[in-house]
Chains A and B, each alone.
Chain A
Amino acid sequence: MKEMWKGNHAIAEGALRGGLQFYSGYPITPQTEVMEFLSFRMPELGRHFVQAENEIAAINMVFGASATGLRSMTGSSGPGISLKQEGISYLSYNDLPAVIVNVQRWGAALGTLDSSQTDYLRDTRGGGHGDYRIIVWAPNSIQETVDLLYEAFEKAEEYRNPVEIYSEAALGQMMEPCEMPEFKERGYDLEWSWDGTDRDHERVDMDQKPIHHTAKFKKIIENEQRWESINTEDAEYVFVALGLPSRVARDAVKRLRSDGEKVGLIRPIAIWPYPKKAFEELPEGIRGFLSIETTDMGQHVEDVALAVKKGFKTNIPVYVHATNQKMPKVKEVIEVYRQLKAGNLKEAF
């Protein structure tokens, strides 16, 4: 039965349904509700909730809990996710699964509490030190948030690598009907996990690490691209947007289509690995791409450009409509499109 769920609570419950056993975090708006919800739900279910003294401790507790075989998660926003980066790098390097939730707020430093996507480049490039990546999923509805969290632990375990849920302040606050899946557990031992007996942790030697990790990430790139394409079959212009702005873009596509405009939408669901395959499927004759995002200078547009330049022989212009801490409006996107078509917009790439 569908019930109204608030995004942040849905993150928590979705993770629990997916088998979450250990959570550690530190309060920060707009992620705090995830943590508050878990603080009473986890003891209820006999699972482990820890309010950490800071985000660094939290991610490192996750490191220990994950190594010893618990399905583990931490979450934060803005400055808190910055503090976790060293730990995330350690998780990936040590081939440890974990789920990290970033309920994004706008800006550098303390920023504001506005909804945004300003962590795009950091999060899709690993974030911490070293040449690693984490799988990053950007839901655009409450149901999808739950479905992705439900799957996240298995994906993290399959590749022995962290998975991030890339949410946004507004997505955490809104409510939508949602069907919660049944509770599931892993139900078997991860044979490589640390149990004190010094068994084989199935790790490769230091000198093999670069080869091993490159192979791991290549496999993820090959198998884990995810996206949704709308009206792209005969499109002349393609919007590219993820998360909440993608819903605005979808409305704009619908309106423009009804006016006879040949526009389409690519919505990356995985933002790492980036769905380059979505661009390979596009028809000939596309005249331009427009990234719609809640960043300041345009971040996602860089990935759009990379995908376009790789997927097409001709140099198709890539534009960006970056609305910083304000959610774009449908009318506004339509207007931007008209300006673009009239040649009044300067291309980003």
Chain B
Amino acid sequence: MAVARKIPKIMEEPTAFCAGCGHGILNRLIAEVLEEKGQEKNHILILGVGCNCNMNFTWGGDKLQCAHGRATSVARGAKTGRPDTLIISYQGDGDAYVIGLSDTINTAYVNTNVTTFAVNNTNYAMTGGQMSWTTIPGQHTTTSASGRDCESTGNPIKVPEIIAQNFDVAYVARGSLHSAKEINKTKKYVRNAIEAQLNGEGFSLVEVLAQCPTNWKVSTVDANEWLKDKVVPIYPLGEFKKREGRDDK
């Protein structure tokens, strides 16, 4: 029987994202998992620069705004200062995979025991929808007005795959927010990542394919379809890496 879930305390303040924005859903998933794990008062969210900056005013837990792209490096420092506190970076695709690619890869490379949530909405949303390395072929953005030309700008970047295939990290997964079913799966990935850190297993990364109706210039309903039909086929979903013996119920 479905039970209406109560709003996590961390999310008492309403989010400030656009209607239908994937960020809002992911905020909720993370808040729920933190509450389930009793970590509402034992985490620091390291905020990248992007639409998630709104969380400075809404997130009901500890948070630290840092420079564009540097959240994982800040997380490395913070984890040193507070080894018993959950250190989570929350970043956009532009933040984690473009300007901050080096920080992200290097944090995975040294396998620091922190967690990164990277919201992939295939564009630089906060600055009004420019092309990102995650922008899908042919996608119209304000800097690829006639559709992304991958010949000259590169193909969609798949950082989870790069990390899972190359580095000895704890956990890597990619989820999507286009349906209730996928949202539930994504929540499981969020939980696994956080558990990995709680167990001291090392670096965990969950990429979350998310709607950005505003910059995709579609309705909130169509955004779900757009995500499912155009984005998901390019970015395979699932878990790419987890420690042996971990059960994933």
Give chain A's interface residues, CB within 8 Å of chain B.
22, 24, 48, 50, 52-54, 56-58, 60-70, 72, 86-87, 90, 94, 193-199
Contacts and interface: CB of A to CB of B under 8 A. Distances in A.
B44 interface: yes
B77 interface: yes
Contacts of A65: 77-78, 80-81
B81 A69 contact: yes
B67 A86 contact: yes
A61 B74 contact: yes
Nearest to A24: B77
A85 to B, nearest CB: 11
B38 to A, nearest CB: 12
Contacts of B70: 56-57, 60, 63, 87
Given A54-B102, A60-B103, A194 B77 contact: no
Contacts of A87: 67, 70
B81 A22 contact: yes
Interface stretch (B15-23, B57-65, B193-201): B57-65
27 contacts: A50-B76, A52-B106, A53-B103, A53-B106, A53-B109, A56-B73, A56-B102, A57-B73, A57-B102, A57-B106, A60-B66, A60-B103, A61-B76, A61-B77, A63-B70, A63-B73, A64-B87, A68-B78, A68-B82, A72-B77, A194-B62, A195-B82, A196-B82, A197-B62, A198-B61, A198-B62, A199-B62
A199 B62 CA distance: 8
Contact of A197 (B42, B73, B103): B42
A72 to B, nearest CB: 7
A68 B78 CA distance: 6
A48 B85 contact: no
Contacts of A72: 77
A52 B61 contact: no
Contact of A64 (B61, B75, B102): B75
Contacts of B61: 198
Contacts of A94: 64-65
A63 B66 contact: yes
Contacts of A197: 41-42, 62
A67 B67 contact: no
Interface in B57-112: 60-62, 64-67, 70, 73-82, 85-87, 102-103, 106, 109
A197 B39 CA distance: 9
B43 interface: yes
Contact of B77 (A54, A66, A86): A66
Interface residues of B, number: 30
B46 interface: yes
B78 A67 contact: yes
Choose among A53, A56, A68, A196 the residue with the greatest number of B CB atoms under 10 Å from its CB.
A196
Given A56-B73, A70-B80, A197-B62, 16 more contacts: A22-B80, A56-B70, A57-B70, A58-B73, A61-B77, A62-B77, A64-B66, A64-B73, A64-B75, A64-B87, A65-B80, A67-B77, A70-B77, A194-B64, A194-B78, A194-B81
Contacts of A194: 44, 62, 64, 78, 81-82
Nearest to B99: A56
A86 B74 CA distance: 13
A62 B66 CA distance: 12
Contacts of A69: 81-82
Contacts of B42: 196-197
A50 B74 CA distance: 13
A64 B81 contact: yes
A196 B73 contact: no
Contact of B86 (A48, A56, A90, A196): A196
A60 B60 CA distance: 24
Contacts of B106: 52-53, 57
A326 to B, nearest CB: 37
